[in-house]
């Protein structure tokens, strides 16, 4: 098996190719090509010297969907809904991200009001029909769509989650009268209550399908031209992969796929090093993504959004993303304060030191001035870069206006970046009842290992783990996942023994649906695994928690006890005497895929052999430039140990070990840094 995992990021496209027979690993990075992501993928594969026709497995993560939502680069989309519910999509839940800012404008709806069409129909909350679908109005709505040339249509009727017959009929009418249009229905996308959340998810899914399908079709065709005829798998936000045929209908599932791949890889690396609790710290060129693994399980969320107010209700890894990447711009606000991010120079033109026309100071430029990065070593020396442009833009835009020398300015940029990233770590840990001191920090991304020790020290995290290929860790995650589908439904009952049979019946029906999807993707019964979760809350409460449950369910006592335990950890409160209510059910079906086992590295090697020289690097703790040892990571074998200050260089990243920190290399090449 020759496997390829690829992460299409905002700045770089990362590639890992693993030959299971020989144990050989090839990694490479190439600038992303936002105008056509397939170009970057093909370039990266060819740089890795793999014969694409010999690939047996291809899986990738992508920011294409996320970027399309951020930039609103979406096709014109229409919404067909029940008469009287046209404005649900715009009214939302009537909240703001900052409740104290009376002047804050919420994001515009994804569907303009004139393109939200109404038809007469009504289904009651119990699924019975109160008013039949008016097919005359339905055909009239299709004529409007056709006249306006809108080929992307979302259908979301009131209470369709309990009875989707009217949505099915509406879709049949659209397909009959306007076969060119793509249609998706809310009862298939998200069969759960609450009109706004269901409508928002369905609309976003419909809008993304043409965007995602276009690049996937192009990528599949070009891979086939190179001789690859297998499945083109894509990571989805829930932590599994789907085939292109499935993604063509569930496009919003891959909107958070790249960061999810990184979270999976960080949990895997931590497990190899003996840590069940880990915080994933993925810092790339545009952003930093923070995830958390507790007791070996990645923390998940059922609601997330690219823009506040328009939720995507598919399960996703719970990731906190901030605008703090190597390309994040340092700037001075109107009050004269230095800020870093969230705007970024991205892949094009990139930081000033990249020599691609970037003319604004960035975190990477600051790291070059501090001596942490040797610009002649970018991408193993394949990329032209220089320190002078970095110094020039920092002097002009930061040091000069603030009356600092360039090194003081660069240090200030770094300190603000560390503070921002530490805040993100707090959001996934302390704010949710976890103590960072009980975790290891897994640092990856091109820029993560540069800053991880400082973030760990700031958060009292005792250990940092840097995997062998940190710059392509998200691409590695794409090799470690299973085919996965999930199905959920609303189910509101008291959590007592009386409802066990009803729950079992509902789970059986949902598992049949998930099993059907897995079979369509070529997964045999021997490779299928089904996991069940019950969404629970205290009676009268709004927030709910997902609690795993056995197959079959023997009783509710153990499940209620798990809920109380999770509630105590999440909210520092539980009440075993309080009535517990079931809110919903979810089934997660996995099609198991063989995971690669990576080779052990050699060793022990002499530290002096691995040292390529020294250079002066600035550390705030010393308040001075310090002579710093520079090591070639590829020459450090199992059992190698050294202390900071040190800089370790490799093709895809640079590791900074500050004074007072110590490093040990394990048998697969992970760096264990004690801070």
Q: pLDDT tens for residues 124-148?
A: 988 999 999 999 999 999 999 999 9
CATH among 2.30.30, 1.10.287, 1.10.10, 3.40.50 for 71-211: 3.40.50
DSSP-assigned letter for residue 324 = -
Residue 616: the pLDDT is 95
Q: How many angstroms separate the CA atoms of 8 and 50, rounded?
A: 18
Phi, psi for residue 519 in degrees, rounded to 5: -60, -40
Least Cα distance to 239 among 484, 575, 561 occurs for 484
Which pair of structure tokens corresponds to residue 254?
Answer: 């891959």
CA distance 648 to 632: 6
Q: For residues 312 and 543, give the distance between their C-alpha atoms in angstroms, rounded to a whole number.
A: 17
- Are the CB atoms for 411 and 620 separated by under 8 Å? yes
C-alpha 629/C-alpha 635 separation (Å) is: 14
Nearest to 158, CA basis, from 80, 94, 93: 80
Contact 373, 650 (CB under 8 A): no
Q: Identify the sign of the CA torsion 635, 276, 28, 655.
A: negative
Neighbouring CB atoms inside 10 A of 333's CB total 8
- The yes or no reply on domain 483-591 and CATH 3.30.1490 is yes
CA distance 364 to 220: 35
Helix (H, G, I), strand (E, B) or coil at 499: helix
Q: Are 355 and 384 in contact (CB under 8 A)?
A: yes
Query: In which residue are the tokens 């503070």 written?
Result: 419
Q: In 3D, which of 362, 356, 410 has the Cα closest to residue 385?
A: 356
Every domain of the chain with CATH number 3.30.1490 lies at 483-591
SS (H, E, C) 564-578: HHHHHHHHCCCCCCC
**41 vs 49: CA distance, rounded Å:** 13
User: What pLDDT is stored for residue 569 in this prediction?
Assistant: 82
Q: What is the pLDDT of residue 347?
A: 64
Quote the pLDDT of residue 453.
Answer: 97
- Output the six-digit token pair for 556: 């509710």
Widest Cα–Cα separation across the chain: 82
**pLDDT at residue 129 in the model:** 96
Gap between the Cα atoms of 655 and 489, Å rounded: 46
Q: What one-character DSSP code corresponds to residue 376?
A: G
Contact 451, 283 (CB under 8 A): yes
> Which H or E run contains 233?
strand 232-235
Cα dihedral across residues 472, 63, 248, 215: positive or negative: negative
Rounded to whole angstroms, how far apart are CA atoms 471 and 15? 10
Where do the CATH 3.40.50 domains begin and end in the chain? 71-211
The low-confidence residues of the chain, meaning pLDDT below 50, are none
């Amino acid at each position: 098996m020759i496997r390829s995992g690829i992460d299409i990021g905002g700045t770089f496209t990362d590639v890992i190719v693993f030959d299971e027979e020989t144990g050989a690993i090839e990694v490479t990075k190439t600038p992303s090509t936002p105008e056509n992501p397939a170009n970057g993928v093909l370039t990266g594969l060819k740089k890795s010297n793999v014969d694409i026709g010999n690939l047996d497995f291809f899986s990738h993560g992508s920011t294409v969907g996320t970027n399309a939502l951020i930039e609103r680069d979406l096709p014109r989309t229409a919404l067909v809904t029940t008469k009287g519910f046209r404005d649900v999509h715009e009214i939302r839940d009537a909240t703001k991200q900052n409740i104290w800012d009376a002047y804050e404008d919420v994001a515009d709806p994804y569907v303009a009001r004139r393109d939200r069409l109404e038809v007469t129909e009504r289904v009651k909350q119990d699924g019975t029909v109160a008013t039949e679908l008016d097919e005359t109005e339905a055909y009239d709505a299709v004529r409007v769509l056709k006249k306006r040339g809108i080929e992307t249509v979302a259908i979301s009727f009131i209470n369709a989650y309990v009875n989707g017959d009217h949505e099915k009929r509406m879709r049949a009418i659209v397909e009959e009268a306007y076969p060119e249009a793509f249609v998706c229905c809310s009862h298939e996308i998200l069969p759960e209550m609450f009109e706004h959340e269901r409508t928002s998810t369905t609309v976003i899914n419909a809008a993304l399908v043409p965007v995602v399908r276009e690049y996937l079709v192009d990528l599949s065709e070009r891979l086939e031209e190179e001789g690859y005829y297998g499945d083109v798998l894509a990571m989805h936000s829930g932590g599994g992969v789907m085939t292109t045929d499935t993604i063509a209908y569930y496009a919003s599932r891959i909107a958070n796929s790249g960061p999810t791949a990184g979270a999976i890889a960080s949990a895997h690396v931590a497990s190899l090093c003996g840590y069940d609790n880990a915080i994933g710290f993925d810092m790339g060129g545009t952003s930093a993504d923070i995830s958390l693994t507790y007791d070996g399980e990645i923390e998940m969320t059922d609601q997330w959004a690219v823009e506040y107010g328009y939720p995507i209700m598919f399960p996703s890894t719970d990731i906190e993303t901030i605008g703090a990447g190597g390309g994040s711009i340092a700037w001075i606000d109107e009050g004269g304060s230095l800020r870093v991010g969230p705007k970024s120079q991205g892949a094009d033109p990139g930081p000033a030191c990249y020599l691609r026309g970037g003319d604004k100071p960035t975190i990477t430029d600051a790291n070059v001035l501090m001596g942490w990065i040797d610009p002649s070593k970018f991408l193993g020396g394949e990329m032209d870069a220089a320190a002078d442009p970095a110094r020039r833009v920092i002097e002009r835009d930061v040091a000069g206006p603030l009356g600092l020398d360039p090194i003081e300015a660069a240090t200030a940029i770094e300190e603000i970046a560390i503070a921002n990233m530490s805040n993100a770590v707090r959001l996934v840990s302390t704010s949710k009842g976890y103590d960072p001191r009980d975790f290891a920090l897994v640092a990856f991304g091109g820029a993560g290992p540069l800053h991880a020790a400082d973030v760990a020290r700031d958060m009292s995290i005792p250990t940092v783990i840097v995997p062998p290929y940190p710059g392509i860790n998200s691409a590695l995650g794409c090799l470690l996942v299973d085919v996965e589908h999930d199905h959920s439904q609303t189910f509101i009952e008291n959590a007592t023994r009386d409802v066990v049979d009803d729950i079992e019946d509902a789970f059986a029906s949902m598992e049949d649906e998930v099993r059907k999807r897995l079979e369509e993707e070529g997964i045999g019964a021997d490779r299928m695994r089904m996991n069940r979760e019950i969404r629970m809350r205290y009676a009268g409460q709004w927030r709910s928690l997902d609690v795993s449950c056995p197959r079959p369910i023997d009783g509710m006592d153990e499940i209620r006890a798990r809920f109380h335990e999770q509630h105590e950890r999440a909210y520092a409160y539980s009440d075993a005497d309080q009535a517990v209510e079931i809110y919903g059910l979810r089934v997660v079906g996995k099609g198991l895929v063989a995971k690669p086992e990576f080779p052990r590295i050699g060793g022990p090697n002499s530290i002096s052999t691995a040292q390529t020289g020294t250079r002066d690097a600035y550390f705030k703790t010393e308040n001075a430039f310090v002579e710093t040892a520079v090591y070639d990571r590829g020459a450090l074998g199992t059992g190698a140990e050294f202390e900071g200050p040190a800089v370790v260089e490799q093709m895809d990243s640079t590791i900074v070990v500050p004074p007072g920190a110590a490093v040990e290399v394990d048998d697969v090449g992970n760096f264990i840094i004690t801070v």
